[in-house]
Chain A
Amino acid sequence: MAFASGPSSLGFDAGASEVPRAFVRYIEDLVKALKSGHTARALNLYENGRREINAEHFSKKLWPTLEQVNAAVAASSGARLDRGFEAVYQTLWLKHVFMTDMITLPEKDTLSNLVRAWTSYSAFIEECVGPSPMAGYTLPPDWVYDVVNEFVYLFQRFHEERAARFHRRAEAAKSGSEAPAGFEADDALDAAAEGVWDPRAVLALLRRAVLTSGINEQLAAARTKGVRAALAEWRAPEVTQLAGTFALVCLVRVEAKLGDHAAAVEAARFLSPQSSGAFLRVTRAQLSLYSYLGFSLAMLGRFHDAARAISSVLLLVHRASPVLEDGARSSRFMKKTAEKMLALLALCDALSPGAPVDELVRAKATDRFGAKLTGIAAGGTEAEAAIADLFTAATPSFVDASWPPVAPAAEGASAGEQVFAVQSRIFLSAAQARAAELAGIRSLLRLYKTIDVPKLARLAGVTEDRARAGLVALKLHSWQAVASSADAADAASRPALTRAIRDSVHFVVGGEDGSMVASSEARVSEDATRELIRRTVALKRQIGAASPAGRA
């Protein structure tokens, strides 16, 4: 089928019939930088050079087609672009269409270019993990991350566009009217879209990149040998390492977006917040990974693990780039992601008291979401509303990759919104029940070191049976699956989870007649120890700065 190279009547110019000389130079410089391994130069051309060339020549215009560029480069230097750069160029062409806000495509061309994106982006990833990856080009980590990241965005966008198209046509058919402009039946386009961006193929491609790169083996090795040794012994080509690592990040993201949280958590089984930075190399990737991993852990009720992972990563990232400070010069994406993570952290911390959260991060979460936390502590409808608000603030967008799509349960709901409806209903039901236990029975256990069940029931305003059920529920919900440090020591193993009570209030029911509740509240020592370490480090720095050598 013909892809949008588009007539000018569509409101933008098709690929320049004459390729601007500056663009040819730009492409030649890019090829040179990538071939010579000058990644800083390549990154500058990719980020700043591209922005300038777009502003000057392509603000409302598509980039030239690959054939046009090939011809122009051949005319200029006598050489043709090789296979590796062709894969790069195709993704850059689509990046200009979908990521710059410069191009507005008609409905039909949007879908046809999303179809094309499947071929181009999957070819890029295949090329990165192929036998002679990217024909020897050295791509900067940020660039490779962008491509794999965009792969997921385009997967989601394709399913949204195709489902919207399907429903608009179905509505028109139902009312006996013509499909709106841009949504008319197009057999060629429908045929081209068949099987494209299939979720199975998307997952398989990402998993294949992970496997080929050996990232999981290296992450497992880092647990036993240390990060430095694991990185040193990693033999895969650089671009394969990068593609595999970012494929892992995006695998977690895709599984979470599809609502398979168990698969998301399993995909990340070898990662730890402490070692992930050295492997991921791109801060955005680290933040994105842990926002999705934390979310999936929370969706499975593993609030303790979720809070621990989010807290660790937010702190690590914040040290490098102060994403938690108001007015910090971090990117919009990083601030938005950090904000989502803070909301999730506040929720997990409230639902799993005693979770190991760094005090700085907890203070930021409390500053930002204090009113919601007060609402949760209050219980009742106020808690339900606060939990729902925090959940909405923490939730990513979802993908409904079903085909043909099911008619929405709520009129006008998009495919992703339907998945959100399911996820939120199930999560909120469990989370709100948990909050009720915390505000009811648990709050009484904090007041009484011993209390018998009838009195507990009286004070809680429930029957004795209900009080006993509440005690069991409180225990069950505190009995969370926790990843042990010895978990997944080699790449072939599956996560072995243990269950442990994760609540600062510990209690047991016993006594002569099995009706006496004895409870105690533990102090979380981690925060105090961390605080001591932080203050010692700060003091040492101050002493260093005040010394003559430090002042010099």
Chain B
Amino acid sequence: MAAPAATSSALPAEDAMLEPSALPELEAEVMSSNAASEAVLRAVLKQYAFSPKVVKMEVVHRALVKAMTLLPDETFMQCMYLIPDTRHEDGTVAQLNNLAELLQSGNFAQFWELAAEPELRSTLDSFATFDKSIREYVATALEITYRRCPVDVIASALNLPADAAAAFSPAWTRDGAVVAFPARAETEPRDGSLEAPIAYADVAELVKALSH
């Protein structure tokens, strides 16, 4: 979304989004079906952190749901940092945090199990593309770990029937009970040294010393 109207048009976008007058538009954006914007999620939660009286918990929940769809970006973690201590006791906030932890720790089957609990499910379903985004994240996590992965592992991770799971990405090739993933830098064999750039300052010091 464009930066909401601010009280002063001269304000940079970051400041305009922190103006109290911008809050209704930001909240509407968070509650919309639009894709998550990291800047908007952060601005809403920051406004809430500054003015606890105006907090709407349904907006907080939706912000966390949307932030989860941005994994592996750090947006979810960042959003949690902005939620005040007392609000962490909210049951839905705690459950959403558990879900994010399961995703980040590779426990995908447990994630889908917890996400299926009715109360949480209604919160997650409020953002229509949630499951799709999470499956894309899971697929990426598998692709950076595996070159070939058992179909049953993929099915459980994506919470899909085996055939649908194996065909989740057009770039995947099924080979019996295994799916072959396309080559990626993260799964390519690596030589014996890490990328290790030498700073200009170091080389400059050497050149300077040797040229005197």
Given the known inter-chain contacts A259-B81, A301-B74, A476-B72, please indicate yes or no for A508 contacting B15, CB distance below 8 A. no
B12 at the A interface (CB under 8 A) = yes
Given the known inter-chain contacts A263-B42, A402-B49, A433-B105, please indicate yes or no for A537 contacting B206, CB distance below 8 A. yes
CA distance A474 to B6 in the complex (A): 43
Given the known inter-chain contacts A262-B75, A471-B145, A536-B206, please indicate yes or no for A522 contacting B19, CB distance below 8 A. no
Q: State the Cβ distance, B91 to closest chain A Cβ, in Å.
A: 15
Contact A402 B51 (CB under 8 A): yes
Contact B52 A404 (CB under 8 A): yes
Contact B210 A418 (CB under 8 A): no
Q: Taking beta carbons and an 8 Å cutoff, which residues of B are in contact with A?
A: 11-12, 14-15, 18-19, 38, 42, 46, 49-53, 72-75, 77-78, 80-86, 88-89, 101, 104-109, 141-142, 144-150, 153, 177-179, 185-203, 205-206, 209-210, 212
Q: Which residues of A contact B196 (CB under 8 A)?
A: 356, 524-527, 529
A185 at the B interface (CB under 8 A) = no
A25 at the B interface (CB under 8 A) = no
CA distance A513 to B106 in the complex (A): 20
Can you give 12 A-B contacts (C-beta < 8 A)?
A200-B19, A260-B82, A274-B201, A300-B74, A475-B186, A479-B144, A499-B72, A504-B194, A508-B188, A510-B147, A513-B150, A522-B190
Given the known inter-chain contacts A356-B196, A509-B149, A540-B209, please indicate yes or no for A406 contacting B18, CB distance below 8 A. no
Kindly list the 7 A-B residue pairs having the minimum CB-CB distance in the complex, ordered from nearest: A526-B196, A472-B106, A510-B147, A469-B106, A473-B106, A300-B74, A525-B193
Q: Which residues of B contact A204 (CB under 8 A)?
A: 11, 15, 18
Most buried by A among B18, B81, B86, B200: B81
CA distance A510 to B201 in the complex (A): 42
Contact B88 A422 (CB under 8 A): yes
Stretch among A60-68, A98-106, A108-116, A423-431 lining the B interface: A423-431
Q: Taking beta carbons and an 8 Å cutoff, which residues of A are in contact with B?
A: 198-200, 203-204, 207, 211, 258-263, 273-274, 299-302, 312, 316, 354, 356, 400-409, 418-419, 421-423, 425-426, 429-430, 433, 465, 468-473, 475-477, 479, 481, 485, 499-501, 504, 506, 508-515, 518, 520, 522-527, 529-530, 533, 536-537, 540-541, 544
CA distance A312 to B197 in the complex (A): 12
Q: State the Cβ distance, B74 to closest chain A Cβ, in Å.
A: 4
Contact B147 A544 (CB under 8 A): no
Contact B178 A513 (CB under 8 A): yes
Given the known inter-chain contacts A421-B85, A479-B72, A522-B193, please indicate yes or no for A472 contacting B46, CB distance below 8 A. no
Q: State the Cβ distance, B82 to closest chain A Cβ, in Å.
A: 6
Contact A258 B49 (CB under 8 A): yes
Given the known inter-chain contacts A471-B145, A526-B198, A536-B209, please indicate yes or no for A430 contacting B104, CB distance below 8 A. yes
Contact B46 A260 (CB under 8 A): yes
CA distance A499 to B140 in the complex (A): 12
A260: contacting residue among B42, B179, B185, CB under 8 A: B42
Q: Which residues of B contact A433 (CB under 8 A)?
A: 101, 104-105
B104: contacting residue among A404, A473, A533, CB under 8 A: A473
Most buried by B among A258, A510, A515: A510
Q: Which residues of A contact B86 (CB under 8 A)?
A: 406-407, 409, 418
Contact A422 B85 (CB under 8 A): yes
Contact B84 A514 (CB under 8 A): no
Q: Which residues of A contact B195 (CB under 8 A)?
A: 500
CA distance A13 to B196 in the complex (A): 61
A506: contacting residue among B50, B83, B190, CB under 8 A: B190
By beta carbon, the residue of chain B nearest A267 is B14
Contact B153 A514 (CB under 8 A): yes
Q: Which residues of B contact A301 (CB under 8 A)?
A: 74, 77
Q: Which residues of B contact A259 (CB under 8 A)?
A: 49, 81-82
Contact B153 A468 (CB under 8 A): yes
Q: State the Cβ distance, B156 to closest chain A Cβ, in Å.
A: 8
Contact A514 B81 (CB under 8 A): no
Q: Which residues of A contact B206 (CB under 8 A)?
A: 533, 536-537
CA distance A274 to B199 in the complex (A): 8
Most buried by A among B38, B50, B73, B210: B50
By beta carbon, the residue of chain B nearest A319 is B205
A541: contacting residue among B53, B150, B201, B209, CB under 8 A: B209
CA distance A229 to B66 in the complex (A): 44
Contact A469 B51 (CB under 8 A): no
Q: Which residues of B contact A476 (CB under 8 A)?
A: 72, 104, 106, 141, 144
Given the known inter-chain contacts A300-B77, A300-B78, A430-B77, please indicate yes or no for A207 contacting B190, CB distance below 8 A. no
B105: contacting residue among A312, A469, A522, A537, CB under 8 A: A469
List 10 additional A-B contacts (Cβ < 8 Å) besides A274-B199, A481-B74, A514-B146. Answer: A198-B50, A406-B86, A422-B84, A472-B141, A477-B104, A485-B197, A501-B144, A501-B186, A508-B147, A509-B149
CA distance A301 to B74 in the complex (A): 8
By beta carbon, the residue of chain B nearest A198 is B50
By beta carbon, the residue of chain B nearest A297 is B74
A520: contacting residue among B104, B190, B199, B205, CB under 8 A: B190
CA distance A203 to B38 in the complex (A): 19
A510: contacting residue among B89, B104, B148, CB under 8 A: B148
By beta carbon, the residue of chain B nearest A437 is B105
Q: Which residues of A contact B210 (CB under 8 A)?
A: 536, 540
CA distance A506 to B191 in the complex (A): 10
Q: State the Cβ distance, B44 to closest chain A Cβ, in Å.
A: 12
B52: contacting residue among A406, A468, A470, A514, CB under 8 A: A406
Q: State the Cβ distance, B71 to closest chain A Cβ, in Å.
A: 9
CA distance A273 to B42 in the complex (A): 27
CA distance A470 to B108 in the complex (A): 11
